[in-house]
């Protein structure tokens, strides 16, 4: 999963939330059950039957709220976004653009990303999986990655203009490659089942990132 998420402009409008409290409870129970079942069984193996069972609602009720496994998965991702876009995150790098020490901005952004990913690693891994199976989710994922990369690209370009970063780089390639580096790193590490030291990983990745861009690394960070 690359970078931040959120691409609500790609799918059909979500249906309105249920009118009654009972309805809202059922819908929520289904979402939570889905999170559990997807994390446990993966997307392909997860059966709607199991989700309904885990939510303690009748099988038929599933269709009152969602029309397919894909749809409930997308709804789950939307819930996820709220946490991934936690306050501050978006501003990590813009801060950088606003004159703070660039290396610190990079470090903060990477640490936030690693932490968010780890918090949701089970479902993030499933997201990777679903992206390979479902075109809509694939586009969602690529769009999210690209949007994130585009944001980085702007920052990199700004740094190049202000002499902070190596002007010889192609900002677009650099942004794509470096965001990919981080997301691939954390995915591979999570998928292998191993845990990892977020602080150390964030440091090392930020060091590589800063070096790659030619951004100055404060001496005490080496």
How far apart, in whole angstroms, are the C-alpha atoms of residue 42 and residue 166?
42
Asked if 15 is part of the footprint of DNA (rule: CB under 7 A), the reply reads no
Asked if 22 is part of the footprint of DNA (rule: CB under 7 A), the reply reads yes
CB nearer a copy of itself, residue 29 or residue 125: 125
Using the rule CB under 8 A, give the single segment among 13-21, 33-41, 79-87, 172-180 that binds a copy of itself: 172-180
How far apart, in whole angstroms, are the C-alpha atoms of residue 155 and residue 118?
25
Residues in binding contact with a copy of itself, number by CB under 8 A: 42
Phi/psi for 118 (5° steps) reads: -65, -35
Minimum distance from residue 25 beta carbon to DNA (Å): 7
C-alpha dihedral over 26, 15, 75, 132, to 10 degrees?
Answer: 130
Asked if 159 is part of the footprint of a copy of itself (rule: CB under 8 A), the reply reads no
Q: Are 178 and 69 in contact (CB under 8 A)?
A: no
Minimum distance from residue 17 beta carbon to a copy of itself (Å): 18
What burial class does residue 219 get, using C-beta atoms within 10 Å of its C-beta: 0-12 exposed, 13-18 middle, 19+ buried?
A: exposed
Q: Which does 48 bind (CB under 5 to 8 A by kind): DNA, a copy of itself, none?
A: DNA
Using the rule CB under 8 A, give the single segment among 14-22, 68-76, 81-89, 176-184 that binds a copy of itself: 176-184
Any residues with CB less than 8 A from the CB of 18 and at least 6 apart, and which?
24, 26, 27, 64, 65
**Chain centre distance of CA 42:** 17
Asked if 19 is part of the footprint of DNA (rule: CB under 7 A), the reply reads yes
Q: Which residues are near a copy of itself by CB under 8 A? A: 2, 42, 44, 125, 128-129, 132-133, 138, 142, 145, 166, 168-170, 173-174, 176-178, 180-185, 188-189, 191-192, 200-201, 204-205, 207-209, 211-214, 222
């Amino acid at each position: 999963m690359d970078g931040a998420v959120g691409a609500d402009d790609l799918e059909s409008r979500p249906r309105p939330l249920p009118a009654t409290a009972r309805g809202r409870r059922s819908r929520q129970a289904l979402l939570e059950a889905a999170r559990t079942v997807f994390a446990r069984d993966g997307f392909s193996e997860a059966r709607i039957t199991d989700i309904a069972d885990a939510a303690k609602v009748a099988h038929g009720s599933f269709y009152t709220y969602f029309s397919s496994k894909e749809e409930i998965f997308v709804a789950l991702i939307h819930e996820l976004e709220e946490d991934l876009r936690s306050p501050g995150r978006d501003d990590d790098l813009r801060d950088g653009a606003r004159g703070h020490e660039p290396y610190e901005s990079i470090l903060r952004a990477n640490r936030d990303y690693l932490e968010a990913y780890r918090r949701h690693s089970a479902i993030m891994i499933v997201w990777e999986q679903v992206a390979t199976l479902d075109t809509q989710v694939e586009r969602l994922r690529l769009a999210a990655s690209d949007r994130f990369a585009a944001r980085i690209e702007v920052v990199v370009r700004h740094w190049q203009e202000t002499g902070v970063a190596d002007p010889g780089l192609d900002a677009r390639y650099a942004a794509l490659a470096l965001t990919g580096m981080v997301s691939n790193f954390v995915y591979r590490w999570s998928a292998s089942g191993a845990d990892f030291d977020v602080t150390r990983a964030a440091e090392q990745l930020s060091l590589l990132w800063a070096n790659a861009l030619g951004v100055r690394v404060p001496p005490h960070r080496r």
